[in-house]
Chain A
Amino acid sequence: MRSGNPLLFVGFLGIGSCLLLAFLWAPSVSIEAFESPAAQRLFYWHVPAAWAAFIAFGALFLGSAGWLFKRSETMWRLHVAGSEAGLATGLMTVWSGCVWGAAEWGTPWDWSDVRLNSFGLLTLLATYVVLGRNSQPDGVETRDTFAAFGLYGFVLVPITYIATRIWTIRHPGPVVATGDGGSINGDMGLLLALSALSFTVFIIGHIQASMHVTSLEQRLEKLQRIADKGA
């Protein structure tokens, strides 16, 4: 696999380094402010994983629109890669959020919290698109159906983004881009930014690699048809 390899490697190195820094270097949080200050260190992968999920869902939206309006094979490959990346990063975000919730709130999930539920729905949408597409024969109708889900499902992304700005119930509010300088100190902010950058490189590498795999599948299918005709 040539495509995406260097970015994947650099992304891996970056997120591995951030994991080490989260354990060894990141400052501890106040024991008064948190029920479980140790578990708070999950934040250095949880937030960047959610950020990577938004990039993946953006790719899914672009790919879906590109397929529906341009009938572009490249855009279809972006749709496939975006949905797979959205599923993987979405599950990572939900998993780390549930573990942190169990440590901090005493419950892994709060059904009354808008952000938890809208992000959960996004991950379910990616699950449906990936599993549904894999269970159907490839064709224009199948692609149109799943591209429509990718296109309209994207509406959940801005809802999820603004959820904690409008309806803060259980999930913590934003810590960066808040307009008042944010609520985290310099070292924590630096590590969070480094981790977000690493996850960004990693997700772009994965999207490239997945697009390459889909192009190989398409090429194989066409060669197989040629071989079948000749037989």
Chain B
Amino acid sequence: MEGMTYLAIGYFGMLVGIALWTYTVVARSQRLEARLQALETALPSGDEVATDEKTDE
């Protein structure tokens, strides 16, 4: 194979990797936000949940 073909294959693979990885993170975030919104609407107010507390040991 020509050097340019290797170059194109290398960069194309990395581009696909970056795109897939970013898409996965963004899609997961959007899906979770939608589910959270639905649950928060369904639950009575006063059930707010914080996530920064330390876990029980």
What is the interface size of chain A, counting residues whose CB is below 8 A from a CB of the partner? 47
For B55, what are the chain A residues with a Cβ–Cβ distance below 8 Å? 71, 73, 140
Interface residue stretch chosen among A57-65, A91-99, A169-177, A185-193: A91-99
B6 A39 Cβ-Cβ under 8 A = yes
Q: Is A227 an interface residue (CB 8 A)?
A: yes
Main DSSP-derived SS at the A contact region: helix
Q: How far is B53's CA from A198's CA once the two chains are assembled, in angstroms? A: 34
Instruction: State A36–B13 Cα separation when bound (angstroms).
Output: 19
Q: Is the CB of A213 within 8 A of B32?
A: yes
Q: Give min CB distance, A136 to chain B, whole Å.
A: 16
> Which single residue of chain B is at the shortest CB-CB distance from A74?
B52
Q: Which of A39, A92, A215 contacts B17 (CB 8 A)?
A: A92
Chain A residues near B2 (CB, 8 Å)?
38
Report yes or no: A100 in contact with B6, Cβ–Cβ below 8 A. Answer: yes
Q: How far is the CB of A71 from chain B (nearest CB, A)?
A: 5
Question: Is there contact, CB below 8 Å, between B51 and A206?
Answer: no
| 0/1 string, A96-117, CB within 8 A of B gives 1 | 1001101100000000000000
Interface string of B16-57 (1 = CB under 8 A from A): 011001100110111011011001101110010101111101
Residues in chain A within 8 A of chain B (CB atoms)? 1, 8, 12, 15, 19, 36-39, 41-42, 45-46, 49, 70-74, 84, 88, 91-92, 95-96, 99-100, 102-103, 140, 206, 209-210, 212-213, 215-220, 222-224, 226-227, 230
